Structure 1
Amino acid sequence: MNEIVRQRIGATLLAAILLGIGVMAALDEIVFHQLLAWHHFVEIDNSALALASDGVLHTLELVMLVVGGALMLRLHETGQHAGGFRGAGFLLGMGGFQLFDGIVDHKILGLHQVRYVDNLLIYDLGWNAAGLLLLAIGYWLLRRARRGAASSQR
Structure 2
Amino acid sequence: MTTRSYISNYSTNSAYSSRNLWSGFLFGIGLVAFIDETIFHQLLRWHHFYDKSTTDIGLISDGLFHAFSWFATIGGLFIFADLRRKNALRFQRWLGGVLLGSGTFQFYDGTIQHKLMKIHQIRYVDNVLYYDLIWNLIAIAMIIAGTFLLVRTRSKQQPEKTISNEHK
TM-score class, shorter-chain normalisation, is over 0.9
Partner amino acid for 2:126? D
The aligned residue for residue 7 of structure 1 is: 15
Contact between 2:13 and 2:158, CA under 8 Å: does it hold in 1? no
Q: Which runs of 5+ in 2 are unaligned?
A: 1-6, 160-168
1:5-154 alignment runs, 5 A limit: 5-147=13-155, 149=156
CA–CA separation in structure 1 for the residues paired with 2:71 and 2:138: 24
1:38-70 deviations in whole A, cap 9, x for unaligned?
000000331111100000100100100111111
Give the drift of 1:22: 0.3
Q: Deviations over 1:75-124 (max 9, x none)?
A: 11112223331110010011011101001110111110010011111111
TM-score where L is the length of structure 1: 0.92
Q: Aligned residue pairs: how many?
A: 151
* 8 Å Cα contact 2:13-2:157 kept in structure 1: no
Structure 1 counterpart of 2:86, one-letter code: T
Distance in 2 separating the partners of 1:137 and 1:34: 28
**Matched residue type, 1:98:** Q
Partner SS state of residue 27, structure 1? helix
User: Which is greater in Rg?
Assistant: 2
Q: Distance in 1 between matches of 2:91 and 2:41?
A: 34
Counterpart AA for 2:68:
L
Task: State the shift of 1:27 in Å.
Answer: 0.4
Question: In percent, how many aligned pairs have the same letter?
Answer: 35
How much has 1:140 moved relative to structure 2?
A: 1.1
Give me the whole-angstrom Cα distance separating, in 2, the residues matched to 1:76 and 1:68: 12
Amino acid at match of 1:60: F
| Partner Cα separation in structure 1 for residue 123 and residue 71 of structure 2 | 26
